[in-house]
Chain A
Amino acid sequence: MSDRPIEELTFEEAMRALEQVVERMESSELSLDETLALFERGMRLAQRCETLLDQAELRVAELTELLKGGTESLS
């Protein structure tokens, strides 16, 4: 998960990654550099989650319409 850019993560992926970062920050003995890097990554993940929530609009489609029109109608 650490190889994909944060902007491409889904909400679930970002939340889980954030959880992991917090766990690592709190538990192990890291160097100052590692801690700084984790801190920055964690904050960016949190920001990504909040942005996704802020910008979300419920998308609704009807199945028969969808099937007629193909998959484009949904996203």
Chain B
Amino acid sequence: MMQLAWGLTVTQLNQHIKALLDADEILQDVWVRGEVSNLTQSAAGHVYFTLKDAESSIRCVMWRSLAGRLNSLPAHGEMILARGYVSVYTVQGVYQFYVEDLRPLGAGLLHLEFEALKAKLAAEGLFAPERKRPLPAFPRTIGVVTSPAAAAYQDILRVLRQRFPLVRVILAPTLVQGELAPVQIVEAIRALNRYRREYDIDVIIVARGGGSLEELWAFNDERVARAIAASEVPVISGVGHEIDFTIADFVADHRAPTPTAAAAAAVPDQAQLREQIRAAKASLTEAMAAKLSSERESLKRHETNLTRVAPVARLAYDRQRVDELVYRAKLLVEHRLSSLRHQVEGRLVRLRGLDPQAVLVRGYAIVSRRDTGRTVSSLAHIERGMPLDVRVQDGVFGAIVE
């Protein structure tokens, strides 16, 4: 850029300054804390305000799209933690803080701490799914770490009583917020572990009702996280509401969204157990009935077989055989008799046919020689003049041969 006698233009000057600032790494992504004042929102929706501390202030801009992501705009006088970049609005020759994200200061700092601890413990592997132990199906005793004064405790007892009153509860009372809480929570978890065999403590519930980030802070404490990780007894965390996730939730063997849900996760439901028992009884009865039925069938089959080979049956069978044989014998004899009768009849007829008398009736005569009495059956037996006897059916007369 040429330095002429009459100098730079304002635009050139402002742009030079802008280039300087835009080249600075720190200014491209910086967190700033301060008090909010003079907050306005333009018709277009962009948010303008001033951030200040005791001695200085800086103008801030937050574009509508980014401001839209906030739950609410900060209030006048509120301490916030804002993140963004610094640049120059060359038109007016001012440098501004362009805010991309902001949050209340207290929550903001805590949030950063939370993220840092979460990253650290995750890197150590404390959140690994393989570390998480299964919960016992029928716990004998549940250790509860919470405040006895809080509604959360009563909620837990109510759910346990309703679902599985067979279980026993040992309360290890603690504060659940404030500076002293983490130490007490740690000690409670350790104590329950120490006496786990003596009292058959099978699972621990660490619980606290809903609250703000600050109120839940004890459950983001590193000491509490490590105590849960070191617990030999499986731990269920039930802290805050469904949307709250504390470090304790990440380390626990099972995270429940609320204290009530934690109690429900710890025990089976007796309604379901009763149904299982009822179903078991039905199965037993069915199997029993089926067995009886099959035995009955088997018995009937045996009966039928026995009846077939029994002596009584045998006798009846033999009797029937005898009857049959007798009948057949009779038939044979009759048949034979009948056949013989036929033969005799036949012979009789032939005999009758041979009867001389029958011949005579038919008109024939028996001629015989008077002198010898011998029958004449041929011309050779006779001569002329020989006396003959001629027998006809009703008598005899003489005849002489011509």
**A contact residues vs B (CB 8 Å cutoff):** 10-12, 15, 18-19, 21-22, 25-26, 30, 32, 35-36, 38-39, 42-43, 46, 49-50, 52-53, 56-64, 66-67, 71, 74-75
Contact = CB atoms under 8 A, between A and B. Distances in A.
A61 B295 contact: no
13 contacts: A15-B273, A15-B276, A19-B280, A22-B283, A43-B284, A46-B277, A46-B280, A50-B277, A58-B160, A60-B170, A61-B168, A61-B171, A67-B195
Interface string B261-303: 0000000001001101100110111011001100100000000
Contact of A62 (B157, B160, B171): B171
B31 interface: no
B166 interface: yes
A10 B139 CA distance: 11
Contacts, number: 102
Contacts of A62: 148, 170-171, 173
Contact of B169 (A35, A42, A58): A58
B137 A12 contact: yes
B191 A63 contact: yes
Contacts of B283: 22, 25-26
Given A46-B277, A53-B270, A57-B165, A63 B288 contact: no
B198 to A, nearest CB: 7
B169 A39 contact: no
Interface string B161-200: 1001111111111000000000000001001100100110
A15 B170 contact: no
Given A11-B138, A67-B195, A25 B165 contact: no
Interface in B186-236: 188, 191-192, 195, 198-199
B169 A59 contact: yes
Interface in B237-276: 270, 273-274, 276
Given A32-B295, A63-B171, A15 B138 contact: yes
Nearest to A13: B138
| Residue among B140, B161, B169, B277 with the highest chain A CB neighbour number at 10 A | B277
B280 A18 contact: yes
A42 B166 contact: no
| Residue among B166, B169, B285, B292 with the highest chain A CB neighbour number at 10 A | B166
Nearest to B163: A58
B149 to A, nearest CB: 13
Nearest to B164: A56
Nearest to A61: B170
A63 B172 contact: yes
Contacts of A36: 288
The 7 closest A-B pairs by CB, nearest first: A12-B138, A56-B165, A25-B287, A56-B166, A58-B161, A58-B165, A42-B284
Contacts of A60: 157, 168-171
A10 to B, nearest CB: 8
A36 to B, nearest CB: 8
A1 B198 CA distance: 24
Nearest to B173: A62
B157 A25 contact: no
Nearest to B200: A74
Nearest to B294: A32
A26 B137 CA distance: 25
B352 to A, nearest CB: 85
A46 B188 CA distance: 38
Contacts of B277: 15, 18, 46, 49-50
A24 to B, nearest CB: 9
Interface in B98-151: 137-138, 140-141, 143, 148
B273 A22 contact: no
